[in-house]
Structure 1
Amino acid sequence: MKVRVITDSASDLLPPHRPEVTVLPMEVTFGEETYRDGVDLTHHQFYEKLIEGDDLPTTSQISPARFEEAFRAAVEAGETVVAVVLSARLSGTYQSACIAAEEFPGKVFVVDSANATIGELILVERALELMDAGLDASSIAARLEEEKTDIRLVALLDTLEYLKRGGRVSASVALVGGLLAIKPVVAVQEGEVVVLGKARGSKNGNNLLVQEIQKTGGVDFSRPYKLGYAGLDDSLLQKYITDSAALWTNHADRLPLGTVGGTIGTHVGPGAIAVAFFQKH
């Protein structure tokens, strides 16, 4: 039986993508205007609005009804479904997917990615690899549950401003951070965002990011990995790639790059760079 992989737009999987994948858009609201993330609001347009506006946008989870519609379409087409969704600790989207899946026992399998943005994306890509290897939906979901604990997402933020706007840090901490050019390094651990350290300036921030990756034991290049950036251009990411060349040399012919969209970009702001990978055992 054919397998369909369904994910939400918090995974930042952009078209063109494989026909076996369905991406359900989250909603991003600026003032009175609501947009479908990645559909009628591109990542570039999101950051233009974010930088130009004074108010922080809001994001909305996907409803059970929307998941049910997508699941039903797949099942009626003779497919079984693996749904890979945003961390349950960051959004109610996982709960929505589970509610909808109850209507399709044995046909739909929901996996909490315990991650976000490119960390969620590489789990989607791993699902496709397992599908290509001939595994059925149930077996794919089981393998993803095992392997998702190997995923590491580490990011360097350019500013504390957006964490301040979202109430994650105080105004005084953000002010001092801005004056001292402090760059926080964050990670997703057990489905939640944690601060690993803080560095003075971009160069020290890049060094700290490299150190945090090395602490994990390194990148398993046999499974998907991704680099991403938040903002209007990838100049900061390209600088990081140059500074961290030792991580990739002799391991990768190319580095797959992506962009961080509105769902997560709302909280990290422009100028963030991130690396997502499966760690070595």
Structure 2
Amino acid sequence: MAVRIITDSGFDVPDASDARLTVLPLSITFGDTTYADGVDLTNDRFFELLIESDELPKTSQATPYAYTQIFEQVRAAGDEAVVITLSSGLSGTYQSALTAAADYPEVHVVDSKNVTIAQGILVQYALRLVDEGRTAAEVASMVESARERLVLLALLDTLEYLKRGGRIPKSVGAIGELLSIKPVVGVRDGEVVMLGKARGSKNGRNLLHQEVEKNGIDFTMPVLIGYSGLSDKLLRKYLEDNRAIWEDKVAEEDLPITSVGATVGTHVGPNAIALAFFRRE
């Protein structure tokens, strides 16, 4: 009996081609056109549309029916599965998976309580556990335990998209842009929170570095670094300035870097940089 890992396109990893992994695409709508995230909408094309559009796109959660179709395949193959969803605090996708799984005892549902690359490293950890021969129940339990050490930190280049999405008042957004405020955000209890603000990009990168050091990275566990938009230039600058974090641990050419997709990109806009890791015990 094989163990399969199922997630949604709210996660971001450099390579999602693992045969044991099924990714359920979320829907992204620009105007009258709806795309299946990661299927007919690449990350680069998403950011091109985001920059060109006057309005933010709308994202739709996965439905119980979509999960049921996948669960039927799991049952037909005689397998079992672990579903890892994006945070229930940010989407109804977790509830959809839970509803669908009620009739499938071979399926275990885990709320990542996170999103994007943090959800991604939780999925990578789950696949590592499958490699070790763990059962689905064991994988789900160990993923839930590791989730408590999960850290996602991000430096935003602009407040524009938070303002347009109504997540901050327009007056705050206007003042922030005028003063070149760079916020550092994280995820706590499944929801995005502001951790601090800095004036200018250099100070923003320093603030992000302070938050990383405050937590400490467990390099025995998966780590991911992400950027939003069409260029990783700002991320490369951050890595160059803070080389000490990685030296003697990960070769520069082996740093796990990926682009951030539509689920988070809608709200942070282009040129954000992010790190996801497990806090040292």
Q: What is the TM-score of this pair, normalised by structure 2? A: 0.98
Specify whether residues 14 and 225 from structure 1 end up closer, same or farther in structure 2 by C-alpha distance, changes over 3 A only.
closer
Once the two structures are superposed, residues 78-131 of structure 1 have per-residue CA deviations (whole angstroms, 9 ceiling, x without a partner) of: 2100000000000000000000101101x0000000000000000000000111
1:185 and 2:184 are equivalent in the alignment:
yes
Contact 1:183 1:198 in 2 (8 A): yes
Shift of 1:14: 5.9
Specify whether residues 14 and 6 from structure 1 end up closer, same or farther in structure 2 by C-alpha distance, changes over 3 A only.
farther
1:251 partner SS? coil
1:232 is aligned to 230
1:69 and 2:69 are equivalent in the alignment:
yes
Number of equivalences: 279
- Structure 1 residues 105-254: aligned runs within 5 Å: 105=105, 107-216=106-215, 218-253=216-251, 254=254
Shift of 1:13: 3.8
2:275, 2:16 → 1: CA distance? 22
2:12, 2:66 → 1: CA distance? 18
Contact 2:112 2:122 in 1 (8 A): yes
1:11 partner SS? coil
2:81 is aligned to 81
Shift of 1:74: 1.4
1:210, 1:16 → 2: CA distance? 28
Specify whether residues 58 and 234 from structure 1 end up closer, same or farther in structure 2 by C-alpha distance, changes over 3 A only.
same
1:264 and 2:273 are equivalent in the alignment:
no
- In the TM superposition, structure 1's runs of 4+ consecutive aligned residues that sit over 3 Å from their partners are 13-16
Shift of 1:12: 2.0
Contact 1:9 1:38 in 2 (8 A): yes
2:157 partner SS? coil
Contact 2:86 2:114 in 1 (8 A): yes
1:45 is aligned to 45
1:10 partner SS? coil
2:63, 2:190 → 1: CA distance? 20
2:54 is aligned to 54
2:226 partner SS? strand
Contact 1:13 1:23 in 2 (8 A): no
1:175, 1:58 → 2: CA distance? 23
1:3 is aligned to 3
1:103 partner SS? coil
Shift of 1:156: 0.1
Contact 1:123 1:148 in 2 (8 A): yes
Once the two structures are superposed, residues 31-51 of structure 1 have per-residue CA deviations (whole angstroms, 9 ceiling, x without a partner) of: 000000111000000000000
The amino acid that maps onto 2:230 is L
Contact 1:14 1:38 in 2 (8 A): no
1:20, 1:123 → 2: CA distance? 15
Q: What is the TM-score of this pair, normalised by structure 1? A: 0.98
Shift of 1:15: 4.8
1:207, 1:191 → 2: CA distance? 25
2:9, 2:211 → 1: CA distance? 27
Structure 2: where are the runs of 5+ without partners?
A: none
Contact 2:46 2:262 in 1 (8 A): yes
1:159, 1:46 → 2: CA distance? 17
Contact 1:111 1:141 in 2 (8 A): yes
Contact 2:14 2:257 in 1 (8 A): no
